[in-house]
Amino acid sequence: MKILELVTGKLSFTKLGFSKLAIYVTLAGMAAMFLLPAWFAFVNSLKSLGEIQAGNLLYLPQVWTIEGWRKAWGGACTGASSCAGLAPYFKNSFIVVIPATLLSTLWACFNGYILSKWRFRGADLVFFVLLFGSFLPWGLYLLPLTRIVDWLGLSNSLLGLILVHLMYSLPLTLFFRNHFVGFPDDLIKAARIDGAGLFTIFWRIVLPTCKPMFVVVLIMQFTAIWNDFMFSLVLSPSHAQPVTVGLNNLTNSQTGSPEYNVYMAAAFITSLPTIVVYILAGKYFVRGLTAGAVKG
């Protein structure tokens, strides 16, 4: 808003101050740097293939067309190339992402509550293992998780993929554990005196107080699971693959001249759900990140 006011002349440079001006200009530059790839993909997705092949990549389309979006969503690529649209893959992604995100976030919240308020023998060891596991690369988890899913008879199924994301999300417990460390112990003791048990205290007292942090982890999990490619490629069935695998199939299954406008449109369509989530829940995300920053 400050940058916009500067551009429109509603705010003078003298009134803003040099230090604040430098901060806003720096932030605007960083935002532009991160938004540039999205702008590049969006603009080129609305061009014809011939215009892109002519070298017009950095400018607005001479002729605006949604043909690339239509092909990316519904398939039916023309010429010597052939591609399948992203529409069926979206359904599979939502089948995985919605339950996996909700269950993994709720499970991490409960585990964080247990580690911080219900001390048990070996709690410090569990905390160390979770902390150590959060620094390991995801590739180390691929083989053991695949073996576990196969042992349970859930290989090549979306249910098995949901289970993998649930197990892989265990380090998220650390977010909630650190959050609940400052939770008043007196409230839990009072609830125990009144006869409330472990799950009752968590559901009625603890969980409602951590909504900002819950939303933060929820958004992080949604983004991570939606953008996951390797687990989806290895564990999902061939007839029900998520959208990231569909995007890879679309860009690698064509023959003949590559349809770059279709690729750009497909990439932008794939990212739309995470963009919508951040737009709708952005203020809660910032509020959750800053929750507990000031005590007293």
Same domain (yes/no): 151, 282? yes
Q: In this predicted structure, what is the pLDDT of residue 11?
A: 52
In a domain, 246, yes or no: yes
The count of domains in the chain is 2
CA distance 122 to 134: 19
In a domain, 46, yes or no: no
CA 56 remoteness from chain centre: 32
In a domain, 66, yes or no: no
Same domain (yes/no): 23, 164? no
CA distance 64 to 119: 62
Residue with tokens 């389309």: 61
Q: What is the pLDDT along the chain (296 residues), one digit of tens a residue?
A: 555 454 444 555 455 566 777 787 888 888 888 888 888 888 988 988 888 888 777 788 888 898 889 988 986 544 434 456 788 899 999 999 999 999 999 999 998 898 888 777 887 888 888 888 888 887 888 888 889 998 998 888 899 999 999 988 888 888 888 888 888 888 888 888 888 888 888 888 888 888 888 888 999 999 999 999 999 998 888 888 999 999 988 877 666 678 888 889 999 899 999 989 888 877 776 666 665 544 43
Q: Which residues, other chains included, contact 149 with Cβ-Cβ below 8 Å and sequence gap of 6+?
A: 155, 160, 163, 164, 235
In a domain, 82, yes or no: no
Domain housing 18: 1-34
Same domain (yes/no): 30, 148? no
Same domain (yes/no): 26, 93? no
Q: Which residues, other chains included, contact 275 with Cβ-Cβ below 8 Å and sequence gap of 6+?
A: none
Same domain (yes/no): 16, 116? no
CA distance 242 to 240: 7
| DSSP track, 90-137 | HHHHHHHHHHHHHHHHHHHHHHHHHHHHS--TTHHHHHHHHHHHTTS-
Percent of residues in the chain assigned helix, strand, coil, to nearest 5: 75, 0, 25
Rg of the chain (C-alpha set)? 24
Same domain (yes/no): 8, 131? no
Burial of 43 (0-12, 13-18, 19+ CB in 10 A): middle
Same domain (yes/no): 281, 163? yes
In a domain, 59, yes or no: no
CA distance 49 to 114: 56
Same domain (yes/no): 15, 114? no
Q: In this predicted structure, what is the pLDDT of residue 94?
A: 95
Q: In this predicted structure, what is the pLDDT of residue 82?
A: 44
CATH number at residue 205: 1.10.3720.10
In a domain, 50, yes or no: no
Same domain (yes/no): 246, 134? yes
Same domain (yes/no): 131, 198? yes
Same domain (yes/no): 140, 11? no
CA distances 69 to 57, 58, 72, 158, Å, are 17, 19, 5, 27
In a domain, 68, yes or no: no
In a domain, 54, yes or no: no
Same domain (yes/no): 19, 98? no
Q: Which residues, other chains included, contact 235 with Cβ-Cβ below 8 Å and sequence gap of 6+?
A: 145, 146, 149, 155, 156, 160, 161, 164
Q: Give pairs for 131-138: CB < 8 Å, separation 24+.
A: 131/171, 131/174, 133/170, 133/171, 134/171, 134/174, 138/168, 138/230
pTM here? Answer: 0.82
